[in-house]
Structure 1
Amino acid sequence: MSLNFRHLMKKLIYTIITFGLCIMSCKGQNERIEIRLMNCIYENYDDHGTEFKKAITDFEQLLIGQKILKDQSGKSYRSILEKIVVDDDFDYNPSESFFDNIREIGLPQNESYKTCQTELRKNANIDLTKETKLNAVLDSLKNTGELTPSQVAIGILSVLNENDFELDYYKMNMFSLFDVISMINADGIKRQLPESKEDIIDYDVTKALNIYLDGESQVFANNQKVTHKELRKTIRDYVSENKSESVISLKNDRQTMYKTYIEIQNIIVGEIRSLREQFSKENYKTELDHLTQEQLAEVKKIYPQNLIE
């Protein structure tokens, strides 16, 4: 199995943990906690999440139209993972990015949804969370090096059932996975720690932007503690100034939360994509996704995604 594919499988693990697996058991509750966690987000929009919900439905219809999903059922989502088990491989590349669509809607300006979710988690029975169960399964795979497609899919299937994939919360997990696969297939970028010295790309790190996540998941850029907002500006300023010579080093403490790690990865990728998009519109008068292969190669040369982890 190629090193690129093993990197992708690790990314799959981080993706799953990021978007849906702070999920609590609702024993004794009428409404599943996953629904309430999503409501924390929806309620921070003026339209109470109407456009956000429509984005989920529209993307699901896109996947159905492109024969990635058979239908809207949870069984259809599980069948993707079951196919991975059988094939020990997967190749799903939707023509659109779900989270690009969400960015067009705009993320909640009021981050009180995070407080809302935190309070829900505090009131949940941690011992019964699906997050705990799935983390244990995936951590076991990671520690033993069993990051094959089938083993990861088996691990997910051992925790999530068809009913789980009927919920928007878990659908977003899969949408995020599709985004990750498409991103890696498009850029060929390794977004995890290299597994051997032969896999290390020889970057000039003397002028790299160094980002570090400590054991409490605090973020530092060139040894200065920064907020996520400040980090976005730092990345954008750095890449704008250094362009083709830009290199970003992302390191983390062993105690760093997976969620924080992947959030920072996504911030890095998002800012670079934003610069590429801006360059595309200014110089080619079109969106990044509509460029020719030659134009896209030129944009990537000017604003590379040289990420060392």
Structure 2
Amino acid sequence: MPRRKGAPEVNAGSMADIAFLLLIFFLVTTTIETDAGLDRMLPPIEPPDTDVVIKQKNIFTVNINKNGQLLADEALMDIKDLRKAAMEFLDNGGDGSCDFCKGKRDASSSDNPSKAIISLKNDRETKYATYITVQNELVGAYNDLRNREAQRLYNRDFVQMESEYLNPETPSSVRDELKDKVKRIQELFPQKLSEAETSTSN
């Protein structure tokens, strides 16, 4: 009786190489999602030469409770009205030193855009979506005013100028030209948006 042959052996010597190549392929072609987060730059830690006294009228306080209700300058307000109210505060020019402000020049409101501060405080149980919406409205108030001045001075939108300036692919000659313009607009309406420590509702 003839002897039966066993099953042919599979040469597994190159399997490790194939697995290694597949691993490299997936590492190179896979994109990893990154969280954008909030664009905030903390000021440098420098002790002030003198004690800075901030007048209460130069602070626009915004409080969000755990139910998503908004209290702006001690008055209930809808989120859709927040941007307009913030712009009126920033653009007030109460002390008359701002020659580009178009506000009411109310003596009981902010003196000057350089002195105006927006203070945001939220409850620990505030919904994240509400918090982000309020943030967007407040930053939008600054951007709208900056856009207005950029149009007046350079016939361009500030947001577009800033994004072009911050884009690393923008030629250095163009970035150098935009640097002074962007800085000038930022100095007209400096973004002074502070966040107070969160509180817990009882």
With the shorter chain as reference, the TM-score category is 0.5 to 0.7
Partners of 1:199 and 1:257 lie apart in 2 by 34
Q: Hey, which of these two has a bigger chunk of helix by percent?
A: 1
Counterpart for residue 306 of structure 1 = 192
Partner amino acid, structure 2, of 1:204: I
Partner residue, 1:238:
89
Higher relative contact order, structure no. (Cα contacts within 8 Å, ≥ 6 residues apart) = 1
User: Does 1:215 find its partner at 2:66?
Assistant: yes
The amino acid across from 1:252 in the alignment is N
1:216 to 1:80, Cα distance in 2 relative to 1, 3 A: closer
Give unpaired runs (5+ residues) of structure 2.
1-27, 93-111, 163-177, 196-202
> 1:122-177: per-residue Cα shift (whole Å, max 9, x none)?
xxxxxxxxxxxxxxxxxxxxxxxxxxxxxxxxxxxxxxxxxxxxxxxxxxxx5xx2
**Among 271, 275, 289, which residue is 2:145 paired with?**
275
Q: Percent identity among equivalent residues?
A: 25
The answer on 1:204 being equivalent to 2:75 is: no
- As a proportion of its length, which structure holds more strand? 2
The whole-number CA distance in structure 2 between the counterparts of 1:284 and 1:225 is: 38
Q: Tell me the CA shift for residue 204 of structure 1.
A: 2.8
Computed over aligned residues only, the root mean square deviation of the Cα atoms, in angstroms, reads 2.8
Q: Is the Cα contact below 8 Å between 1:212 and 1:251 reproduced in 2?
A: yes
Q: How does 1:247-262 map to 2 (within 5 A)?
A: 247-262=117-132
After superposition, where does 1:1-309 map in structure 2 within 5 Å? 75-76=30-31, 79-81=32-34, 177=36, 180=38, 183-184=39-40, 189-190=41-42, 204=54, 206=56, 207-241=58-92, 242-288=112-158, 289-290=160-161, 292-309=178-195
Q: Residue 244 of structure 1 aligns to a residue in which SS?
A: coil
**1:281 and 1:203, CA in 2 relative to 1: closer, same or farther beyond 3 A?**
farther
CA-CA distance at 1:80 after TM superposition: 4.5
Aligned length: 128
Q: Find the residue that maps to 1:210 and give its secondary structure.
A: strand
Q: Which has the larger radius of gyration?
A: 2
Q: How many Å apart are 1:248 and its aligned residue?
A: 0.2
CA offset at residue 268 of structure 1?
0.4
Tell me how far apart the structure 1 counterparts of residues 90 and 81 of structure 2 sit (CA, whole Å).
14
- The letter of the residue matching 1:215 is K
Task: Say if 1:300 and 1:307 are closer, same or farther in 2 by CA, change over 3 A.
Answer: same
Residue 205 of structure 1: CA displacement?
Answer: 5.5
TM-score normalised according to structure 1 size: 0.37
Could you state the TM-score of these two structures normalised by the residue count of structure 2?
A: 0.55
Rounded Cα–Cα distance in structure 1 between residues aligned with 2:53 and 2:33: 37
Distance 2:129 2:46 in 1: 25
Structure 1 residues 232-276: Cα deviation after superposition (integer angstroms, max 9, x where no partner): 110011111132221000011222112111111111001111110
Partner of 1:165: none
3-state SS, counterpart of residue 129 of structure 2:
helix
